[in-house]
């Protein structure tokens, strides 16, 4: 794949999926195209349902091939409807890749994995948690259906090109060598089936857990061990080794609670774990804002790394901190939290809609000369929202306030306040920002 075009293609695909992803016949056409090439179609279906985040596809040949074939199939499906959204897909790939993959077909038809029956399963919590074991060969058979979801990961790495699991290749090799030498103590691999997504069926009499077709398996603790297992089998396919498996059927919020618990044993990056602690009222408000799918939700990411990589404008920790600072005495009741979340969504939808060029259409180009969408400026916007709450003239006052501020990065006021690029500010600078935006 042409390296300088990878991010462009992924962004384009996301926009196309947003526009046509609801068309079931288009999705079925793409799946049928994969089946005609004797390739599993489930992975392609996951792209439409957003269970497979395109940004998580790596630079491996397998993932690049999948991306090419998905584009090819989707373009065919769209041409059937006279829709020209992806006709240039070949321009993102090399001539060698196009010639090798355009007519690619596996010799043998891919076997269906689901329904998958796990035997000798113990139910720990009724309908929510089960424990079992898989041989290393059985685990590897599930390799491509064990997805990693950034929202249910204990750690990940963000760059402008992609979102990657924060995998340490040295650590993977060490685990593999230890397994091969017979010195590795097998610890539980944790897999979550997102709640209400094809709930597994457990038979207490036979102690069998059935994973149905369409189930989404998110591996949230054990990715290094999964990768190490694949390495082990390359060197010793018949090795006798078994993994204990912990399977849960939890919502993402419940998974976050489990991650907080695990974090007490093995600490995670504080910026990743902090917004997932739902004992804090500000995180409950933030969660409702993210669920709203509003403009603020669309530009809010887990950590500052996303912002520095031009994948978002603000991080969850900054918003949570700003909500706590500006709505402290209003967060105790669920009713108040709902009201505040709805208000912030309404406020920021208007703000970002009026200044759409800066926040929606061309934000990363604007960032080069203006601080209007700097991640730290969202401290100010949350402060302004708290000041204008319940004010009937808030829209006009908001516009007057924004127009009164010179956001140009060369404005001396920012040196006085202390905002610098995409670095998180200290309390002194933050309080100066609060003061600036509260004065209306």
Helical H runs in 236-376?
252-263, 270-273, 281-291, 295-299, 304-308, 316-326, 334-354, 356, 363-366
pLDDT at 267 over 70: no
Instruction: Output 145 or 355, whichever has higher pLDDT.
Output: 355
Q: DSSP assignment, residue 380?
A: H
- Predicted TM-score (pTM) of this structure: 0.48
Q: What does the block give as tokens for 81?
A: 């409807």
Enumerate the domain spans of the chain.
3-101, 116-263, 270-438
pLDDT at 310 over 60: yes
Q: Measure the CA–CA gap between 19 and 216, rounded to whole angstroms.
A: 23
Q: Tens digit of pLDDT for each residue in 176-185?
A: 999 999 999 9
pLDDT at 163 over 50: no
Q: What is the pLDDT of residue 141?
A: 86
Q: What is the pLDDT of residue 135?
A: 95
Burial of 249 (0-12, 13-18, 19+ CB in 10 A): buried
> Where is mean pLDDT largest: 143-152, 388-397, 421-430?
388-397
* Torsion 83-89-95-101 (CA) sign: negative
Q: What is the pLDDT of residue 271?
A: 64
Q: What is the pLDDT of residue 152?
A: 52
Q: How far from 254 is each of 74, 148, 219, 320, CA to CA, in Å? A: 35, 17, 15, 19
Q: Measure the CA–CA gap between 17 and 146, rounded to whole angstroms.
A: 22
Q: Tens digit of pLDDT for each residue in 46-104?
A: 888 777 778 777 777 888 999 999 999 999 999 999 999 999 999 999 999 999 999 99
The arithmetic mean of pLDDT across residues 212-241, rounded, is 88
204: phi then psi, degrees, rounded to nearest 5: -65, -25
The arithmetic mean of pLDDT across residues 161-188, rounded, is 81
pLDDT at 156 over 50: no
Q: What is the pLDDT of residue 307?
A: 87
Average pLDDT, the chain: 86
Q: DSSP assignment, residue 125?
A: E
Share of the chain above pLDDT 70, in %: 88
The arithmetic mean of pLDDT across residues 284-301, rounded, is 91
The arithmetic mean of pLDDT across residues 159-181, rounded, is 75
pLDDT at 355 over 60: yes
The arithmetic mean of pLDDT across residues 234-261, rounded, is 82
Q: Measure the CA–CA gap between 401 and 420, rounded to whole angstroms.
A: 22
Q: What is the pLDDT of residue 197?
A: 58
pLDDT at 208 over 60: yes
Q: What is the pLDDT of residue 56?
A: 74
Indicate the range of 12-16, 161-165, 347-351 predicted with least confidence.
161-165
Q: What is the pLDDT of residue 274?
A: 66
Q: What is the pLDDT of residue 45?
A: 87
pLDDT at 166 over 70: no
Instruction: Output 347 or 167, whichever has higher pLDDT.
Output: 347
> Where is mean pLDDT largest: 105-114, 210-219, 229-238, 272-281?
229-238
pLDDT at 257 over 70: no
Q: Measure the CA–CA gap between 10 and 38, rounded to whole angstroms.
A: 25
The residue written with tokens 């035997």 in the block is 119
Burial of 415 (0-12, 13-18, 19+ CB in 10 A): exposed
What is the CB neighbour count within 10 angstroms for residue 221? 20
Q: What is the pLDDT of residue 121?
A: 94
């Amino acid at each position: 794949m042409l390296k300088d075009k990878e991010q462009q293609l992924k962004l384009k695909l996301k926009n196309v999926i947003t526009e046509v992803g609801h068309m079931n016949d288009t999705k079925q056409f793409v799946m049928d195209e994969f089946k005609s090439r004797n390739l599993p179609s489930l992975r392609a279906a996951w792209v439409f349902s957003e269970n497979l985040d395109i940004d998580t596809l790596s630079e491996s040949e397998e993932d690049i091939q999948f991306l090419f074939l998905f584009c090819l199939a989707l373009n065919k499906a769209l041409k059937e409807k006279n829709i020209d959204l992806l006709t240039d897909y070949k321009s993102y790939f090399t001539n060698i890749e196009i010639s090798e993959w355009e007519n690619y077909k596996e010799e043998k038809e891919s076997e269906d994995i689901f329904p998958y029956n796990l035997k000798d399963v113990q139910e720990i919590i009724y309908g929510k948690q089960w424990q079992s074991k898989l041989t290393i060969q059985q685990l590897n058979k599930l390799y491509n259906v064990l997805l990693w979801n950034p929202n249910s990961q204990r750690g990940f790495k963000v760059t402008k090109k992609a979102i990657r699991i924060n995998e340490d290749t040295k650590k993977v090799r060490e685990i593999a060598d230890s397994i091969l030498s017979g010195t590795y103590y097998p610890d539980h691999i944790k897999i979550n089936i997102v709640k209400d997504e094809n709930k597994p069926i457990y038979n207490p009499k036979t102690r069998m857990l059935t994973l149905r077709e369409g189930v989404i398996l998110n591996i949230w603790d054990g990715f290094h061990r999964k990768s190490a297992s694949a390495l082990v089998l390359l060197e010793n396919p018949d090795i006798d080794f078994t993994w204990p498996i912990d399977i849960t059927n939890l919502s993402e919020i419940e998974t976050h609670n489990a991650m907080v618990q695990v974090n007490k044993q093995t600490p995670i990056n504080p910026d990743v774990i902090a917004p997932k602690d739902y004992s804090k009222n500000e995180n409950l408000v933030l969660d409702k804002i993210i669920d709203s799918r509003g403009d603020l939700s669309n530009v809010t990411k887990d950590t500052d790394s996303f912002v520095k990589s031009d994948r978002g404008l603000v991080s969850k920790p900054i918003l949570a901190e700003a909500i706590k600072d500006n709505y402290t005495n209003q967060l105790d009741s669920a009713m108040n939290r709902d009201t505040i979340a709805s208000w912030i969504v309404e406020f920021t939808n208007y703000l970002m809609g009026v200044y759409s060029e800066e926040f929606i259409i061309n934000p990363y180009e604007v960032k080069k000369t203006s601080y209007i969408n700097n991640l730290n400026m969202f401290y100010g916007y949350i402060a302004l929202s708290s000041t204008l709450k319940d004010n009937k003239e808030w829209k006009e006052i908001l516009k007057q306030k924004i127009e009164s501020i010179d956001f140009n990065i060369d404005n001396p006021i920012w040196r006085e306040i202390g905002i610098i690029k995409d670095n998180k500010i200290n309390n002194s600078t933050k309080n100066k920002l609060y003061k600036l935006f509260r004065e209306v």
